[in-house]
Structure 1
Amino acid sequence: MNVLDLDVARRKYDIRIDSSMLYECALGIGAFTWEQVHDKLDIGQAEIRRMNEQMSAELRQEVQLAGSHHTWRSLLFLLHRCPQLQDEPQHAHLGIFTNWIHELQDDIIAKASPYLGDAQAELLHRALAGSMAEQEKLLQIHADNPVVYLHLQFLFSTSPDRLLGHIERLMTGWYQEMLRNGEEVMQILERAAQETKKLALERSTEDVIRQITRGGELEPEPGVSVLWLIPQLAYRPFTIRNHLPGSAVFYYPVDEDHLTDTRQQKVFASIAAQHKAVGDIHRVQLLKLLSMSPKPLADLAEGIGASKPSTHHHLLLLRTAGLVSVRSGVYELNIDAVASLSDGLYRLLNLDPS
């Protein structure tokens, strides 16, 4: 007898929520060195220029290496693998981290390497042990992904001492030179993490992911049982995803509520985000396409004559503003949010829309 069981329980996840200035540093370096997204970041291009002008020559050299070989990703993987980090107050994180990486010695390259999935774990292990054949095989596998390719290429060619020195100078330099108003940033991140912990107690996992990623859907992934949620400011309004063994990591943007102190500032931020989202002809074209029917990414990219990565960036801005949502890879228009777009500005300016 063929049986179709409709009483399927939702997949259960363990949720881990952390915050640290060190994650903010690593993500900040990643955002700073990815010039293609500078015009889309909330931080603004003027602030990025200021950071570039303020940077010391010593830090600039390390940041350039981090940008050319994506070693900021090694910072993230090391932070996730640092066992003592989340048990201590944030003020102690930098000292704990630098002491720990010195203890790693020759093992630092393995700890700083990316997670490529269980299927490639043994291949990566042999490559890091010095197998030229396995190194070449991995580089061929990831030849179409320059971020992973260049990161692996650096790890395969560097020495433990060189990597240790680079990681220490990069993290310490960015922490000391680039984090403005560090105490305020620390408090913002901690408030955001506490709010997410509260949300996780009250809502379903799917609702938590949808809210903190501003409309993203939780897609089941084989072998993933832990969702690691980390608030960040550097990449706002984007959510950055990462993977570790058994875990999916979401570096999610801090909500506007944690950035502003007055109701008026919150209104300003919301209205600015919505109008910024429609301030591009491609995004207006996407809204038009979605007004006709929900569509997957491939159809939308074809409809506006753009690449999938470019279309995805446009859709992410529309999702951040609440104008578009996505479920199971299909995007749809949030009609009520679009309808209220002009009303919010009218109300702010005390104008009569009639």
Structure 2
Amino acid sequence: MDLFSMGTKEREKYSVEVKCSLLWESALGIAAITNHSLVETLDLSKQNRESIKKSLSKDMTEQLEYAQTHNTWKTLLQILHQEDFKNLSSFIAYVRKLSPEELKSIAIPYLGKDKNIQRNGLVQGSKEALSELQNFTKANPFLPSYLEFISKTNTEELKNHLIEVMSGWYKAVVEPEKEKLQSILSRDKNSKEKMIEKLEPEQFVEWATDGISYPPEPSVFKVILIPHYIYRPWNVQADLEGVKVFYYAVANESISIDSKYVPNKMLVQRYKALGDENRLKILKMIKEKSLSLQELTDELKMGKTTVHHHLKILKAARLVLPNSNKYSINEEALTLLPKELKLFLEN
């Protein structure tokens, strides 16, 4: 049922932009390879990881260890948001000209409008500001230590590190695969841009990221989507002032040269999930009202294990949303499905 509002205030909305470049791919590659808790889960095979390792010089290996210890991949990403750099040389020139205050101001992530005073204090070396921001970010696995590092680091040493780690990774890992990577990123960007005008911003973000639901929130007026290849299958999120950023995994069909005939994996997964009588029954039941596993089991007169299996498939296809101990239908995903199919068949 549609909701009718008597209020005059319009719902917050945001615009969407898709960007891609080999510099983003470099910075996200450094982020991926130095994230020891996730590196084994990357789509990047062990053989490819070993190949990358062998291509790195001793100095570059040390630079990556430094990046892992201090999470300087975050600084690289923060800098890349300052300009649309044309190439590695323009990035290096930009970093070299930054003053200590400018570098620290860029490196410290946006933490909300009400924390801007503390951010400015941190740039000036305030211990009180550091303590407040560390307490504010204590639930984050790396931000408290990262903020302390940025506040105390020698900025000239940091600049040299950023230039060396970015240059070293680009030359050893990206440049040998430059044409392939550029083709993959460009194909994905182009396919996404064809869909922007056909979907509402929320639907588009969910489609592009394979399921991230991002409803409008106050003071966020733009969403930037940046495709990556090396960090697949993970999506990474970041905040800028007035902007939400999703570094998202390129779609399977963007990787293939014959991508025109390769369907999006979520499209396939969703139609497979719908190709079962019992799962269609479940969807119709939970569209009428949210139901628990036990309630579905009772209604369907099936074993709990079987019903749970069907729900697992529906959840993986993002057609069902768990809500506390009950399940409800994902209306956005169902609305999107025919548009996804039409896009695949017509492009």
Identify if the C-alpha distance between structure 1 residues 44 and 127 changes in structure 2 by more than 3 Å, giving closer, same or farther. Answer: same
Whole-Å Cα distance in 2 between the matches of residues 66 and 137 of structure 1? Answer: 25
Q: 2:130 matched to 1:129?
A: no
CA deviation map 1:283-335 (0-9, x unaligned): xxxx9xx9998799xxxxxxxxxxxxxxxxxxxx989963665589997689x
Identify if the C-alpha distance between structure 1 residues 54 and 211 changes in structure 2 by more than 3 Å, giving closer, same or farther. Answer: same
User: Are the equivalent residues in 2 in contact too, given 1:217–1:326 (CA < 8 A)?
Assistant: no
Whole-Å Cα distance in 2 between the matches of residues 197 and 220 of structure 1? Answer: 20
Stretch deviating more after TM superposition (183-192 or 68-77): 183-192
User: Are the equivalent residues in 1 in contact too, given 2:13–2:216 (CA < 8 A)?
Assistant: no
* Deviation for aligned residue 1:247: 0.2
CA deviation map 1:95-131 (0-9, x unaligned): 1111111121222121222111111111011111011
Q: 2:82 matched to 1:81?
A: yes
Identify if the C-alpha distance between structure 1 residues 114 and 319 changes in structure 2 by more than 3 Å, giving closer, same or farther. Answer: farther
User: Are the equivalent residues in 1 in contact too, given 2:29–2:231 (CA < 8 A)?
Assistant: yes
CA deviation map 1:154-183 (0-9, x unaligned): 101112201110110111111011224112
Q: In structure 2, which of residues 168, 188, 192 is the aligned counterpart of residue 192 of structure 1?
A: 188
Match of 2:90 in 1: 96
Identify if the C-alpha distance between structure 1 residues 322 and 50 changes in structure 2 by more than 3 Å, giving closer, same or farther. Answer: farther
Aligned residues: 291
Q: Which amino acid aligns with 2:112?
A: G
Whole-Å Cα distance in 2 between the matches of residues 184 and 244 of structure 1? Answer: 30
CA deviation map 1:228-269 (0-9, x unaligned): 1111112212221111000000111111111113479947x9
Whole-Å Cα distance in 1 between the matches of residues 40 and 189 of structure 2? Answer: 27
Bigger CA radius of gyration: 2
Identify if the C-alpha distance between structure 1 residues 123 and 191 changes in structure 2 by more than 3 Å, giving closer, same or farther. Answer: same
Identify if the C-alpha distance between structure 1 residues 56 and 201 changes in structure 2 by more than 3 Å, giving closer, same or farther. Answer: same
Match of 1:299 in 2: none
CA deviation map 1:127-146 (0-9, x unaligned): 11011222222223323323
Q: 2:116 matched to 1:117?
A: no
Whole-Å Cα distance in 2 between the matches of residues 28 and 35 of structure 1? Answer: 13
Match of 2:303 in 1: none
Match of 1:138 in 2: 133
Identify if the C-alpha distance between structure 1 residues 333 and 49 changes in structure 2 by more than 3 Å, giving closer, same or farther. Answer: farther
Whole-Å Cα distance in 2 between the matches of residues 198 and 320 of structure 1? Answer: 27
Alignment of 1:47-62 (within 5 A): 47-62=48-63
User: Are the equivalent residues in 1 in contact too, given 2:21–2:185 (CA < 8 A)?
Assistant: yes
Secondary structure of residue in 1 paired with 2:214: coil
User: How high is the TM-score relative to the length of structure 1?
Assistant: 0.72
- Identity value in percent: 26
Match of 1:13 in 2: 14
Q: Which amino acid aligns with 1:94?
A: L
> Which runs of no fewer than 5 residues in structure 2 stay unpaired?
270-278, 293-311, 335-347
Secondary structure of residue in 1 paired with 2:12: coil
> Which runs of no fewer than 5 residues in structure 1 stay unpaired?
86-91, 275-286, 297-316, 338-354
Whole-Å Cα distance in 2 between the matches of residues 23 and 66 of structure 1? Answer: 16
Identify if the C-alpha distance between structure 1 residues 4 and 10 changes in structure 2 by more than 3 Å, giving closer, same or farther. Answer: closer
Whole-Å Cα distance in 2 between the matches of residues 149 and 24 of structure 1? Answer: 26
Alignment of 1:297-312 (within 5 A): none
Identify if the C-alpha distance between structure 1 residues 14 and 319 changes in structure 2 by more than 3 Å, giving closer, same or farther. Answer: farther
Match of 1:168 in 2: 163
* Deviation for aligned residue 1:11: 3.4
Identify if the C-alpha distance between structure 1 residues 14 and 263 changes in structure 2 by more than 3 Å, giving closer, same or farther. Answer: closer
C-alpha RMSD over aligned residues: 3.5
